[in-house]
Amino acid sequence: MTLVRTGQRWATAQTAPEAYAHRVLIKLLHDRHRGLARRVTERPLDGHDEGRSPLRDHADTVADRDAIVRRYDDSRRGSARSSSCDSSPT
């Protein structure tokens, strides 16, 4: 990143490129340090295992949705069967 920024300002940096690159590097390090200092430290939630994520993944959500749809379809088929069986021709 230092070389990219030095190259972008080459008109200014060409008089003393090493010093300019050094200053850019120091500024980048300070920016990184400030960014890390502002970052909130992450901690595990209380009551959850360290190895397991408390969040569900997308596959679990899809599997649950499919199970609900299957139950709904089965119940509709069951009600259609019972209504067709109840009306016997006489």
3-state secondary structure the chain: CHHHHHHHCHHHHCCCHHHHHHHHHHHHHHHHHHHHHHCCCCCCCCCCCCCCCCCCCHHHHHHHHHHHHHHHHHHHHHHHHHHHHHCCCC
- Residue 17, pLDDT score: 93
Q: What's the pLDDT at 38?
A: 84
At residue 5, the pLDDT reads 87
Q: What is the pLDDT of residue 59?
A: 86
Residues of the chain with pLDDT below 70 are 46-55, 79-90
The confidence score (pLDDT) of residue 79 equals 65
